[in-house]
């Protein structure tokens, strides 16, 4: 558990990093940002809190020696000697440049923040926030031109959605990371940070939800998909945990072994987890990620029925008539 209510900002520095393939180079700042209380509050609210709330936890890795992971090494240098913050931030920027080899990577700012006063599992610690800005938003400003107010279009950094961020803790190997632009390129997680997901209850449940959704998408019969969702829901209600082996056993009645294996292999490649049969999913957490199967029922192509928490579909009867599709749906409402 992480408590950031007493967190403060000690240092901020900004560098500009381009795309190495396009030979855009980088510009390194020699001075920290001149901070104000408003700036500190903004970064605490919009850059620290969202990372911690995301609860997407990763760990550094390296093929041969964790000490050779560049970001792990440079951040630990800062924690050991805070006066090296500026120097190590420049090293981090240079490493980011070396990792920026995908043609779709845009040049932009790299903001590095030294946080203090975080409480992790009851222990006060420091943290280093690393943030990459690749896209800026347009906004209108008002300029007073000798008594005549003019509208001026400007560009700036949006505070509403973090693009790429990482929070490195001084106490252990945990890294909180966000990459909202991952559909364009995966360099942030894989090449720059070199991190892999940690198998937290949330992460495992999320994978389980993705597995169930993929299985359901391969079932053409709405009643069969409905039955799968109901059986999974029953297993969740009957036990505090549910294993991947149980999901596999239930799914065998609806998809063949090869299809299940292909789905599992794809998820394993994306997540980096070892998705063995004995992997246990926390039932209450898993239930949150099964709603797109247990509470959404595909009636036909392009038609999906969503039911509320206190209702469930018990049967679907679909007939193709000369006037089109006719569906009769039986819905049970709890308490009625």
- The pLDDT of residue 161 is 78
DSSP string, 184-224: T--HIIIIII-EEE---HHHHHHHHHHHHHHHHHT---HHH
- The pLDDT of residue 9 is 98
Helix (H, G, I), strand (E, B) or coil at 49: helix
272 in the Ramachandran plot: left (φ > 0), alpha (ψ -120 to 50) or beta?
left
Q: What percent of the chain has pLDDT over 70?
A: 96
The yes-or-no verdict on residue 312 having pLDDT over 80 is no
pLDDT (tens digit per residue) in 191-219 = 999 998 887 788 888 888 889 889 988 88
> Which sequence spans correspond to the domains of the chain?
2-134+163-198, 202-310
Nearest Cα residue to 94 out of 79, 73, 65: 73
Note whether 72 and 175 are within 8 A (CB). no
Residues sharing a CB contact under 8 Å with residue 256, sequence separation 6 or more, in sequence order: none
pLDDT (tens digit per residue) in 10-55 = 999 999 999 999 999 999 999 999 999 999 999 999 999 999 988 7
Mean pLDDT value of segment 56-60: 87
- The pLDDT of residue 130 is 98
Tell me the pLDDT band of 173, cut-offs 50, 70 and 90: confident
Q: What is the mean pLDDT of the chain?
A: 87
pTM above 0.85, yes or no: no
Most confidently predicted of 218-222, 262-266, 314-318: 262-266
The yes-or-no verdict on residue 99 having pLDDT over 70 is yes
Alpha-carbon separation of residue 112 from 19, 166, 185, 242 (angstroms): 19, 10, 21, 41
Nearest Cα residue to 118 out of 127, 106, 105: 127
- The pLDDT of residue 336 is 57
Helices in the chain by DSSP H: which ranges? Answer: 37-43, 49-54, 70-80, 85-99, 187, 201-217, 222-238, 244-251, 257-271, 283-288, 291-294
Euclidean distance between CA atoms 187 and 129, whole angstroms: 18
């Amino acid at each position: 558990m992480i408590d950031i209510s007493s967190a403060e900002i000690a240092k901020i520095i900004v560098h500009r990093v381009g795309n190495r393939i396009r030979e855009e180079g980088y510009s390194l700042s020699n001075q920290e940002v001149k901070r104000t209380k408003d700036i500190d509050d903004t970064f605490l609210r919009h850059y620290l809190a969202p990372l911690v709330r995301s609860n997407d936890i990763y760990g550094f890795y390296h093929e041969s020696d964790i000490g050779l992971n560049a970001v792990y090494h440079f951040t630990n240098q800062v924690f050991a000697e805070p006066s090296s913050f500026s120097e190590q931030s420049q090293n981090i920027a240079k490493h980011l440049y070396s990792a920026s080899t995908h043609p779709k990577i845009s040049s932009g700012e790299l903001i590095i923040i030294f946080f203090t006063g975080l409480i992790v599992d009851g222990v006060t610690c420091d943290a280093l926030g690393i943030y990459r800005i690749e896209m800026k938003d347009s906004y209108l400003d008002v300029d007073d031109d000798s008594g005549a107010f003019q509208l001026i279009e400007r560009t700036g950094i949006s505070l509403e959605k973090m693009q790429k961020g990482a929070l490195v803790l001084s106490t252990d190997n945990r890294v909180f990371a966000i990459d909202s632009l991952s559909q364009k390129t995966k360099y942030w997680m894989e090449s720059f940070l070199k991190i892999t997901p940690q198998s937290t209850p949330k992460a495992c449940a999320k994978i389980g939800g993705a597995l169930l959704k993929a299985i359901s998408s391969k079932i053409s019969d709405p009643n069969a998909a409905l039955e799968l969702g109901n059986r999974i829901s029953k297993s969740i209600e009957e036990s505090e945990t549910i294993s991947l082996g149980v999901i596999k056993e239930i799914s065998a009645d609806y998809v063949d072994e090869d299809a299940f294996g292909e789905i599992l292999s794809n998820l394993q490649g994306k997540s980096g987890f070892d998705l063995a049969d004995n992997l246990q999913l926390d039932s209450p957490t898993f239930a949150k990620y099964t709603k797109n199967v247990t509470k959404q029922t595909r009636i036909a192509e392009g038609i999906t029925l969503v039911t509320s928490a206190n209702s469930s579909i018990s049967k679907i009867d679909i007939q193709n008539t000369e006037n089109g599709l006719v569906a009769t749906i039986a819905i049970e409402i709890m308490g009625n």
